[in-house]
A and B are shown apart, each in its own frame.
Chain A
């Protein structure tokens, strides 16, 4: 499939997603202005209604929201009737933190899961394999937020090695920053490790039975070369697909973990929007996340095309 067509699909999906999230707002019971500034005066409410063109029909509202959104205006976060802050500013601060958390979690997950997946496939049935199978099973069943609290308790409260929560910007203290990210990133990584390990293992077991693996062995290559050059490469494509599918889970997990560890990322901001009854801000953030999600999946698709010579050639 051509890149242009993929881009078109991407755009259509993003439009549909935002349309859908805008539509959700129309489902809100009662007057939106009442919800946003519950204790305001009538005049203030009127102001909000005017700002948001609440009396206009849905298509107009959506078009307006979309126009603003494209220009980077994500609406305002009302802290009471008179004080408000642009959501775009909040997102600008929050998004990088969420991204960093997810990035670290992915790195940790892959660094641990790849060698384990390869080794357990190679030593299929060994003690290591059986043990990591059970461990993976347990890791998958442990809810991320519960794990977050458990780790926070043991490493933060009991042992006191790491902060129990909060976010230290790298500009303030690099070591403080790293310390504040360790537990959240590990918490988020745990389930991913289990998923990747399980998947890579079963995929590698199949790959290892292929003729080309026997042939690679027959060349006298070391086990390590056979495993990592000849077997991991084809399997890494499967890994990539799953990583793409996983992004959704990862995003959901990151949001929850931000609340658990009190990291002011998108998750915490969304929680604030809910608590502060700010549907517009909430919708804009949902849209941002959905767009990010769609973009990542698009990137995974592209990467897949680049990595697999069979697909690459087919599309040329």
Chain B
């Protein structure tokens, strides 16, 4: 017994108000701070050799385990290497692992998710069970297994080439991230593929792949981006975990993870090594997470998809 449309119009203005912040065009100070931190560290790591940062492998035995000093701002590690230098150079390995693993995962997982979400049916039936198996092993355990197996030297005492090891860590963490990134891309793609403009394009007979890349992909990107930002942080932390198992970036090349792992027994005597490095990882991950949230907010990525 409801009334006709003209009677039933509610004053919708209040309910229709977009959530605060969604429409904001400018990035806030927090976002700039986060970007500044992440980019700044990266730049520092790249230009380190030219701005007088000491060699991260050079030891100053008389400074071993000593805290911050005039000569070594952040102090020295267990072997007397300059901690600031190790952290700055360590950024290289940690960033390569973080961004590299996610880029790898996104390339494969994102593509698979897009295809499966868009075409569904048969493709879905093949790929999803595969992903299920990958998801049935805890991520960290899987990464640990992959790195261990793929980077085991043939004989004890031999060492693996550090750049091979770095590649394996990137690959291991990247493989692990495929199902997660794939699942999210798939869900988002499915949601967007139902939209009128996509259905309309399909109905008009446009080429399927063209629709997928031109109409669907641009809308899926924000969700991918936000989860990728979180993923970079997770991968950087995971490298630290791997390093504790001796499966992180190969020494003497520094990474944030192996700086901590190497001197974990120095905690009581020289806490600065672990505390300072932890703080750097913490701030970086926080910055990445914050940017991920900003993307969610600005592009109105639904939380449920994540």
Contact = CB atoms under 8 A, between A and B. Distances in A.
B286 interface: yes
User: Of residues A39, A146, A282, A283, which shows the largest number of chain B Cβ atoms within 10 Å of its Cβ?
Assistant: A146
Contacts of B281: 143, 146
Contacts of B135: 248
B206 interface: no
A310 to B, nearest CB: 18
A25 B148 CA distance: 10
Interface stretch (A14-22, A86-94, A173-181, A227-235): A14-22
Interface stretch (A46-54, A67-75, A113-121, A271-279): A271-279
Contacts of A140: 289
Interface residues of B, number: 45
A146 B140 contact: no
A294 B150 CA distance: 25
Contacts of A146: 240, 260, 274, 277-278, 281-282
A34 B146 CA distance: 19
A274 B246 contact: yes
Contact of B244 (A20, A21, A157, A271): A271
Interface in A9-34: 13-14, 16-17, 20-21, 24-25, 27-31, 34
Interface of B: 132-133, 135-141, 144-146, 148-150, 152, 154-157, 233, 237-238, 240-241, 244-247, 260, 264, 267-268, 271, 274-275, 277-278, 281-282, 285-286, 289-290, 303
Contacts of A29: 152, 154
13 contacts: A20-B137, A21-B145, A27-B149, A29-B152, A30-B154, A140-B289, A145-B240, A150-B274, A202-B303, A248-B139, A249-B140, A255-B144, A289-B141
Nearest to A38: B156
A101 interface: no
Given A143-B241, A150-B275, A202-B303, 11 more contacts: A21-B145, A28-B149, A38-B156, A143-B281, A145-B240, A146-B240, A146-B277, A149-B267, A153-B267, A253-B140, A275-B246
Interface of A: 13-14, 16-17, 20-21, 24-25, 27-31, 34-35, 38-39, 137-138, 140-147, 149-150, 152-153, 157, 164, 202, 247-249, 251-253, 255-256, 259-260, 270-271, 274-275, 277, 279, 282-283, 286, 289-290, 293-294
